[in-house]
Structure 1
Amino acid sequence: MFGGTETLSGRIGAITTGVRGGSRLPLLFLHGVGSDKSVWMPQLAHFGQERLAIAADYPGYGDSHFRPGATRKDYADAMIALLDRLEIGEAHVCGLSLGGIVAMEMAIHHPTRVAGLVIANSFGRHPDGEAIYDRSVGAARSIGMEALARTRAASLLGIEPPAGLEDELVETMAAIDPEAYVLGAEAVWRADLTRDLHRIHSPALVLCGTEDAITPPALSDALAAALPAARRVDIAEAGHLTNAERPLAFNRLVEQFISDLDGKA
């Protein structure tokens, strides 16, 4: 099924595909600050063949209602409310960049709802986060989202991205409400979860593209080392958007990880 879902936090746009049942838990996908739920279409098509797969927008993004002053904790709570609305008690959660931050917030504050974590191209704290936040917000407010998207898209990608992907990124990012983007930028670049990472006991797979210049592999190394139960894997020749740049490799790694967890349940 496709479309929006009402939650306690307001309308949250979500795409769901696949079926429930058996030992395969649902899988929730969470996007980055310059994206929306549509970035996960390669994953929805793959994982929806055998389990319920869900991609959702944060408040203010895509088809979701804007929530003034929303924080990363609010994003996480909105995703829990979405699971409630879909009558899902426990799910695997896969987040990229900001999505990784939101996924970890879910695991910290709602540990019984997160069976397994996939954290792609993210971090516990970014050492240059404040400067990136200032540049991102300044550009969004001065030159607008479309110009920001055109100047930023190429830097997100690694070696030989799929044809047309850069144009898709520009189109998606240009459509984001600037004020929603500002809140998303604060949620990711000013995040510091380092004091809470020890509280995350969900098994985690930490992924990063070898060519990621935005959140370099060293940040994923540090994150994996700080989590109590984490595996760490690189995806070759990918930049910051590993799921869209190298979907076959990304899907294979995630499939193996969550299938192993389902088998142990």
Structure 2
Amino acid sequence: MTEVNVHLSAQALDEIFKPAAYLGNIQAQIDAVLQAAQGQLAVQIQGVKDAPVIIFSNSLGTDHGMWQAQVDALAQHYQIITYDTRGHGASDVIANSTLQNFADDVIDILDTWHIEKAHFCGISMGGITALTLAIEYPERFYSITVANSAAKIGTAEAWTTRADSVEQHGLAEIVKTTHTRWFSEHFDYAHDVLAQKTIQSLAVTPAQGYANACRALADADVRDQLNQIQIPTLIIAGQYDPVTTVQDAEFMHQSIPTSQLEILAASHLSNIEQPQVFNQALSKFIQNI
């Protein structure tokens, strides 16, 4: 792992008297910035004293705010950590993003706050990060939740083409049509506050950060390693998801002996389209571990 220094907001400094203290004593949200060798990583922490930790990992082109419905529902019972994946939100764009980079960032978060083990929930790009963590660092996690993801998302050619296009033309065209991939026709995304905020987060994502993540996804493929996963795994799929399909979820479920599968009436961002059902599935899964 990289060496990490922690820089906290004034609010956080008022509440923490030891920079690397375990954050079980924190009730209100704090904002932290990890200064690692790969650049700054924006982290948000809130929740209940001494409660189990759940880390949430965002999808491509979004930021930590996409998890607001889960934070609102679970922060009364758990310690919640969200963060902006490299090149997204307030986290630095780095020269080369890889799936291993994404996984190592999570371990840096755990190490910085002396968190021995946690539950991890990732969606889409965050979901394949979850799989990587379960393969590489199983001793650090009680469970993983893999939402709207796959062991291999799309094709390398498609991701490389998208990365090249975004570098040349920016994200404007992708933003215009993203609702057709993220949300089903049954969901009134235009009048959902969180859905609109999440689309806006795509609009302000650094183009180079997005392109770098696309190239990381082009190379990401853990299909042959799924049977190595031995920790409890919840797989959540969207019935109407055109990006990571129910078939992708079923393949993971069949390949991971410790997994269970939930299919929600949603498209690609099921945590936003069906937040109550998503939260219920996640809560029940974690409570039974």
TM over 0.5: yes
1:147 equivalenced with 2:173 (yes/no): yes
1:247 equivalenced with 2:275 (yes/no): yes
How many angstroms does 1:187 deviate by? 2.3
1:212 maps to 241
1:187 equivalenced with 2:213 (yes/no): no
1:27 equivalenced with 2:58 (yes/no): no
Deviations 1:223-248 (A, max 9, x none): 11111210011011x10000011110
Report the identity percentage: 25
Aligned-partner Cα distance in 2 for 1:64–1:55? 12
Output the amino acid matched with 1:41.
Q
Aligned-partner Cα distance in 1 for 2:88–2:156? 22
**1:139 and 1:232, CA in 2 relative to 1: closer, same or farther beyond 3 A?**
same
Aligned-partner Cα distance in 2 for 1:220–1:161? 25
Aligned-partner Cα distance in 2 for 1:143–1:208? 32
2:73 maps to 46
1:169 maps to 198
1:115 maps to 142
Which segment is superposed worse, 135-144 or 90-99?
135-144
Aligned-partner Cα distance in 1 for 2:75–2:121? 14
| Deviating 4+ runs (over 4 angstroms) | none
Aligned-partner Cα distance in 2 for 1:103–1:181? 19
Find the partner of 1:230 among 245, 259, 268: 259
Query: Based on CA coordinates, which of the two structures has the bigger radius of gyration?
Result: 2
Give the conservation status (yes or no) of the 8 Å contact 2:163–2:212: no
1:6 equivalenced with 2:34 (yes/no): yes
**1:52 and 1:35, CA in 2 relative to 1: closer, same or farther beyond 3 A?**
same
1:132 equivalenced with 2:158 (yes/no): yes
Aligned-partner Cα distance in 2 for 1:229–1:244? 26
Output the amino acid matched with 1:197.
L
How many angstroms does 1:7 deviate by? 4.9
2:5 maps to none
Deviations 1:44-97 (A, max 9, x none): 111111110111112222111222112110111011101111221100000001
**1:70 and 1:142, CA in 2 relative to 1: closer, same or farther beyond 3 A?**
closer
2:88 maps to 61
Deviations 1:127-185 (A, max 9, x none): x4224313422431233113321122322211214423553233110111111111211
**1:201 and 1:161, CA in 2 relative to 1: closer, same or farther beyond 3 A?**
farther
5 Å matches for 1:198-209? 198-209=227-238
Q: Which ranges in structure 2 are unaligned for 5 or more consecutive residues? A: 1-28
Output the amino acid matched with 1:258.
I
2:3 maps to none
TM-score norm. by structure 1 comes to: 0.91
1:79 maps to 106
1:157 maps to 183
Give the conservation status (yes or no) of the 8 Å contact 1:149–1:169: no
Give the conservation status (yes or no) of the 8 Å contact 1:18–1:48: yes
Q: How many residues align?
A: 257
Aligned-partner Cα distance in 2 for 1:224–1:114? 19
